[in-house]
Amino acid sequence: MLIDEAEIEVQSGKGGDGMVHFRREKFVPRGGPDGGDGGRGGDVILFVQPSLNTLLAFRHTRRYVAEDGGHGGANNRHGRSADPLQIAVPPGTVVYDAVTGEVLGDLTLPGQQLVVCRGGRGGRGNTHFKSPVNQAPRIAERGEPGEARRLRLELKLIADVGIVGMPNAGKSTLLAALTNARPKIAPYPFTTTEPNLGVAQVDEETTIILADIPGLIEGASQGAGLGHEFLRHIQRTRLLIHLLDGLSEDPLADYAQINTELALFDPALREKPQIVALNKADLPEVQERWESLRARFRKHKVEVMLISALTRRGVREVLLKAAQILASLPPQPALNLPLPVYRPAVDREAFTIERTEMGWRIRSDAIERAAAMTYWEYDGSVRRFQKLMERLGVDEALRQAGARDGDTVYIGDYELEYRE
C-alpha cells in the first residue's frame, strides 16, 4: 500500500539542568562554586533512506520525542548531550509546517538531512555566576525547553518518466511490458488505485524509472476520480508518456482533456515533454482508424506513435525514444513548491499582557523560557529573574495596566504574586 501523506508531531529534547554546588574537600577551605552545566537536548532530524518508498510507518507512530540532556554534576562535570532523534523518510518527501503551511524542506537525495526541531541548550551551573561581589552564588539555570512542531509530510515519487492517460488506456499493461513491475491489470476503469514504479533496462548502462499514474478524468485537478490524490507524483518526472486508448470515441479530445487537468494542477506540467502513444494496435478497429487519427493529431502538430502494450508492438521504440529525450534533459526538474512564507524578524524581548479572570497573563517566548529555566527554590535565581522582568519593562507595564499587590501573574506554567 502506498501511503503518500502523513501528519506527525515532533519534539526536541530539553536541555539538562545546571547544578548549584560548592567544592567541599578536606583541608580545602572556601572551595567555591563547582556546579557543572547541563547537556544539550537532542535535535529531531529527518533523513532520506533510499530503501523506503512510502510513509506507511507514520500511520503507526504519530509522535516523536527526542531525549533530554543530562544534568550537570559536581566538580564542574558537564551533563551528557543527548543524541539526535533521526527519523527516516523516503526520497521525494516534502516537509511542511502543519500549522502555518510553510515549506520546511524538500528531501530528495540519499542521506539528505533536515533539522526540524533544535534541542534546548543546557542550563549553566553556578560556576558561571561567580563574581568578586558574589563568590558563593546560589544561582544556576535549568535546561532550555525543547521545541515542538506538527509536521505534514507529502511524498512525491521520484521517477524519470510518468505514464498518464484516461482510465483503462492500458498504462499498467505498458508498465508491465517495459519493466519487471507487476501492477494489477483488469478490463475495467480505475483498476490502478495507487502509483506503481518500475525500472526499464534500455541497455547495459542505462536504466529508466517509470511511474504508472492512476487514470485521470475531467476535474481530476479539483479532486474528481483518483487524480487529485496522485497528480503530485507527476511533478518530479522529467518526461511523460501520454497513453491514449485506441478504442476511445475521440482520442484527441482525451489528449486535450488530460493536458488541461495537468496544467490546472500545476502550470509547470504543461512544459514537460511528452511522448504520445495510441494503444491497442492489436485490434482491427484501431488499425482501421489509425491513419485518420494520426492526420488529426498532425494538424495540431502532435506526433503519435502506434503501439500495443499487450503484444508489445512498438513498446521498445517508445522506450528508446524516452531514453533519447531524457539524455537531453537536466537530471532533476525544479519542483514547483509553494514559496516559503516571509516572516518579519520577531523581537524576542517583546511581550503582551492580558487581563484574565484569575489575574494577569504575560505572553512572551523569551520570558516564558526564562521562567522555565529558573530555579525557583534558590533566592539568587529568583532575584535574577526579577531583574530580567525589570530590564524588559514588565514590572512597569503591569503597573500601568492596573496590577495591584497580591494579584496573580501567570507566565507559562508558573504562577507568581505581584508586588509593587
If phi over 0 gives left and psi between -120 and 50 gives alpha, with beta otherwise, what is residue 309? Answer: alpha
The stretch 284-290 carries a mean pLDDT of: 93
Question: Which carries the bigger pLDDT value, residue 364 or residue 332?
Answer: 364
Residue 186 to residue 81: CA distance in whole angstroms: 56
Check residue 25 and give its pLDDT.
77
* Contact (Cβ atoms closer than 8 angstroms) between residue 62 and residue 85: no
| 186 grid coordinates | 483488469
Q: What is the pLDDT of residues 38-58, one digit of tens each?
A: 999 999 999 999 888 778 889
The stretch 389-404 carries a mean pLDDT of: 90
Q: What is the pLDDT of residues 92-123, one digit of tens each?
A: 898 999 998 888 988 888 889 999 999 999 99
Q: Answer whether residue 153 shows pLDDT above 80.
A: yes
Tell me the pLDDT band of 167, cut-offs 50, 70 and 90.
confident
The conformation of residue 235, written as its DSSP 8-state character, comes to T
Check residue 126 and give its pLDDT.
92
Total-model pTM = 0.72
All structural domains of the chain, each given as residue ranges with its CATH number in brackets, are 1-155 (2.70.210.12), 161-327 (3.40.50.300), 352-417 (3.30.300.350)
Check residue 172 and give its pLDDT.
83
Question: Which carries the bigger pLDDT value, residue 242 or residue 226?
Answer: 242
Sheet holding 352-355, edge to edge: 352-355, 360-363, 408-411, 414-417
Q: What is the pLDDT of residues 60-90, one digit of tens each?
A: 899 999 999 999 999 899 999 999 999 999 8
Residue 308 to residue 314: CA distance in whole angstroms: 7
Mean pLDDT of the chain: 85
Task: Give 254-263's long-range contacts (Cβ < 8 A, gap of 24+).
Answer: 254/165, 254/166, 254/169, 255/297, 255/302, 257/166, 257/218, 258/164, 258/165, 258/166, 258/216, 261/216, 261/218, 261/219, 261/220, 261/221, 261/227, 261/231, 262/164, 262/216, 262/221, 262/231, 262/234
Check residue 171 and give its pLDDT.
84
* Contact (Cβ atoms closer than 8 angstroms) between residue 92 and residue 109: no
Q: What is the pLDDT of residues 5-48, one digit of tens each?
A: 899 999 999 999 999 999 887 777 777 899 999 999 999 999 99
Question: Which carries the bigger pLDDT value, residue 4 or residue 72?
Answer: 72
Sign of CA dihedral 369, 375, 25, 133: positive
Check residue 273 and give its pLDDT.
92
Check residue 257 and give its pLDDT.
87
Residue 76 to residue 62: CA distance in whole angstroms: 39
Q: Answer whether residue 347 shows pLDDT above 80.
A: no
Q: What is the pLDDT of residues 186-230, one digit of tens each?
A: 443 444 445 777 888 888 778 888 888 775 644 444 444 444 455
Q: Answer whether residue 302 shows pLDDT above 50.
A: yes
Question: Which carries the bigger pLDDT value, residue 17 or residue 259?
Answer: 17
* Residue whose C-alpha is closest to residue 2's, from 58, 57, 54: 54
